[in-house]
Amino acid sequence: MNVTVKKYIKSILAFLFTVVGIVLGIIIGIKFLRFFMPFVIGWIIALIANPLVRFAESRMKIVRKYTSMLIIIVVLGLIVGAVYLAGSKVVEETAKLVEQAPDIYQSFSQDYKEVEKNLDRFILELPQGVQDSILDMQENIGAKIGEFASGFSQWTVAYAGDIAKHLPNVLIGIIFTILSAYFFIADRDKILEFGRDNTPMFIQRKWKVLADNFRGVIGGYFKAQFKIMAIIWIVLVVGFMFMRVKFAIFIAFLVAFLDMLPFFGTGTALIPWALFRILSGDMKMAVELTILYLFTQLLRRILEPKLVGDSIGIDPLATLVFMYAGYKLAGVLGMILAVPIGAIIINFYKMGVFDNMMRGCKEALEDFVQWLWPEQKKK
């Protein structure tokens, strides 16, 4: 009996130490990343730029230290160029939108007047007490909107002041990011050699497997999300063009981007749009928008388990289970984060991180069964 109790205590302690270690690792890791964020970004830039540096070093016979800063400048230039091209496209579409703003405003005004007429007609059919309640509610909503606008303007001024106040810190962070990226590339071999010389071999093997799995999980997850976004965007473009919506490509991109974000989705734009069309009397477009919304949601629910599961290396059923568990625990954000977290846990299991804990729990369970039923002996 004493041996059994000791095994129970040992198993419980092993389980508690594992859980506490994981929780502390997550908390310390998040604080560490926030504190050293410029170096983390510099390390990411170094990962992107290092293949180009290696190519220049091997093919062009250029010393790594000389090419590192040049490659970093090129990579940053490419990022800035991509942002510029995307921004110029947005500006071009916005200019077209502004150019046609009077026509759009006139069309919207007509629709809004139609909505007002329909609402007034509907309200007049209600009892007087309900009408009074609706009028009071409208006044309260108007007052709340005024308070929100005033608060938003104050928040905007305060936020602009915070940006100006933190601008020196941002500039210092950018400088440290560029310098750290340069040294991560220029002294890469020295850093790796130092790590190999001062780290036990079994930790190196575990770290390599963990790093490879982590890159595969995170990279595969976002790759799958962008694939889904592209498919949703194509469906929205086709649907909007069929409905003769102006700026179909641009609006479809915005809605598809919303669909990829936590707490949002295509319904954030399509459902209010459909309701407005119902109130304005355009039932045909309201039905089309509703069908488009339902189709995109069904398409995402079908594609997500398969694409995400294939990209990060877990079964579609396991992906579906993780998504459901995450949704029940933390809503939409939990559903999104549950898949990569679940994939990392599975990879930890494959690496043997939980072997001692599971072995102790198994032995404790076997001893407990023997204590309940002494006639059941171990084979």
Rounded Cα distance, 130 and 126, in Å: 6
Opening angle at CA 125, ends 120 and 127, nearest 5: 115
Q: What is the token pair recorded at 285?
A: 């477009």
Q: What is the token pair recorded at 107?
A: 């069309």
Residues 351-367 have pLDDT tens digits of: 676 676 677 667 666 76
Distances (CA, A) of 76 to 44, 45, 52, 210, 322: 12, 8, 13, 29, 37
52 pLDDT exceeds 90?
no
- pLDDT, residue 231, reads 92
Rounded Cα distance, 254 and 245, in Å: 14
- pLDDT, residue 291, reads 92
50 pLDDT exceeds 90?
no
Least confident of 31-35, 149-153, 292-296: 149-153
Rounded Cα distance, 204 and 100, in Å: 61
Q: Look at 376 and 349; give whichever has higher pLDDT.
A: 349
Q: How many residues does the chain have?
A: 379
- pLDDT, residue 353, reads 67
DSSP letter (8 states) at residue 232? H
Which pairs count as long-range contacts for 41-46, CB under 8 Å and 24+ apart, including other chains? 41/177, 41/181, 42/176, 42/177, 42/178, 42/179, 42/180, 42/181, 42/184, 43/180, 43/181, 43/184, 45/72, 45/75, 45/76, 45/177, 45/181, 45/184, 46/180, 46/181, 46/184, 46/185, 46/188
Q: What average pLDDT does range 103-120 have in this prediction?
A: 67
Q: Look at 377 and 259; give whichever has higher pLDDT.
A: 259
Q: List the domain boundaries for the chain.
A: 36-100+135-198
* Average pLDDT score over the chain: 74
Residues 161-183 have pLDDT tens digits of: 666 666 677 778 778 887 887 78
Q: What average pLDDT does range 217-236 have in this prediction?
A: 84
Least confident of 59-68, 82-91, 124-133, 225-234: 59-68
Specify the 3-state DSSP secondary structure of 264.
coil
Give yes or no for a contact between 176 and 38, defined as CB atoms under 8 angstroms apart: yes
Specify the 3-state DSSP secondary structure of 342.
helix
Give yes or no for a contact between 68 and 184, defined as CB atoms under 8 angstroms apart: no
Residues 272-311 have pLDDT tens digits of: 888 878 877 778 888 999 999 999 988 888 887 777 766 6
Rounded Cα distance, 192 and 199, in Å: 10
348 pLDDT exceeds 70?
yes
Q: Which of 156-160, 245-249, 253-257, 334-338 has the highest mean pLDDT?
A: 253-257
What are the backbone angles phi and psi of residue 201, rounded to the nearest 5°? Answer: -65, -40
Q: What is the token pair recorded at 169?
A: 């810190």
Give yes or no for a contact between 312 and 216, defined as CB atoms under 8 angstroms apart: yes
- pLDDT, residue 68, reads 62
The secondary element (H helix, E strand) that includes residue 101 is helix 101-124
- pLDDT, residue 153, reads 59
